[in-house]
Amino acid sequence: MRKDVNREVEFAMNLFREYYRRTPPPAPADLREREFGFMFFDRDFVKRHTGFLEENDFRRFLLNQVPSHAYYSTALYERPAAPTMDLKGWKGADLIFDLDADHIRGAEKLSYQDMLVLVKKEAMALLDRYILGELGFDERYVRICFSGGRGYHVHVHHPKLLALGSHERGEIIDLVTGTDLNMELIFPSAASMRKDFKDRTVVKRSYSLPEKDQGGWLRFGRQTAEKVANEIGVMSNDGLRQRYPSLQKVKDQVLNDMRQSLFSQRGDSTGLDLMLRNDSLEYLTSDRARDSDHLKELFMQMVLETLKERMSGQIDEPVTRDVKRLIRLPGSLHGKTGLRVVTLTREQMDDFDPLRDAVPEAFPSTPIKVHLKERTDVRIKDFRVNGEGDQEVPTYAALFLVLRRWAALC
């Protein structure tokens, strides 16, 4: 059912239509085997189960129908336009990672601009640590896309991955998120009995660090332990308490003892090995030092807290697991921002600024008067919107503000 078209809808549709006329998105690989889905400014329904035989048909649809959102299937089908999933004839699916601000802790407290900075940082970490790093995918098979909204999509298209089912994709999720991670496998511990300096029998526990040449979460564990040790060496006690919730009630003397045990020998991983493995160090057996086991356990708690930050997931797990998903079409426009879904290389991500680089060149800079509904401060392309009430802004900025519902046309 078509909606009544108001000024804002007509304004957006005209700009979207001009964009699709001048710079139509390239058709996806395997066009004839992909299902497409669309949402519209002037209609209340989602159109799915659409297929195209030729690129001209695909482009003509975008120009004539002017969707607010355009999607295509991560899967390949024998009959992508079939009306039900059972009839489509599934042939395989790309491996997809979706990282959105909704899944990043603390993003909800940030401005839109700062949120985009944070989500890009997390997307680059996902790529470097796992997709291009631990999983070792060749960048030739990896497509990175800014979603046009609040996140990034990573498509891995390789013949050997197409047949992976939901279970196998779930195993990849477990690696990335650290699900059910066994800390004993990363930091094996052993207990021994000994006499303390008062001739009391005590049970001492020691831990082993993973070797430097090991991979996966073993390498992450070692890197994390070294990172925590370095923070203990350079941060104040108050800074450590702010950084680690487990230290809120720990006294200065305990933190000083831990710092001494790490760095009284050498300021590198050798000192870390000594603290975790030795039953006691000379300093720690003094009357004023805390029990070495207590320091080890406290240190390991700090390591676990830091590892949990890495285990937080960050990705939208159902997207990766789903073998019949629709994902945003690269080169299309996002109906809630007017920004392009931009395809990037990993190197291009470093300097990529969505509010500058995802604004379509097809959008004019002609001044338009808008009414800002509340105080707004955002830079779009080369124009800063700052204030509230009636203002003149470039057309490209007006579209962004209207679609974000921060402003109305005057």
CB 147 within 8 A of CB 153: yes
Taking residue 161's Cβ as centre, other Cβ atoms within 10 Å add up to: 17
Query: Which helix H or strand E contains 384, and what residues bound it?
Result: strand 383-394
Q: Which residues are catalytic?
A: 98, 100, 316
Q: Please give the distance of CA 303 from its chain centroid, rounded to a whole number.
A: 22
CA dist 373 to 101, 268, 394, 406, Å? 24, 55, 17, 6
143 vs 344: CA distance, rounded Å: 7
Closest CA to 335 of 156, 71, 50: 71
* 194-205 burial code (b ≥16 CB/10 A, e <16): eeeeeeeeeebe
CB 139 within 8 A of CB 344: no
Task: Please report, to the nearest 10 degrees, the dihedral formed by the alpha carbons of residues 306, 309, 312, 314 taken in order.
Answer: -150
Angle separating helix axes 292-310 and 252-263, nearest 10 degrees: 90
Tell me, what amino acid is at 20?
Answer: Y
CB 116 within 8 A of CB 354: yes
- For residue 202, list its beta bridge partners: 194
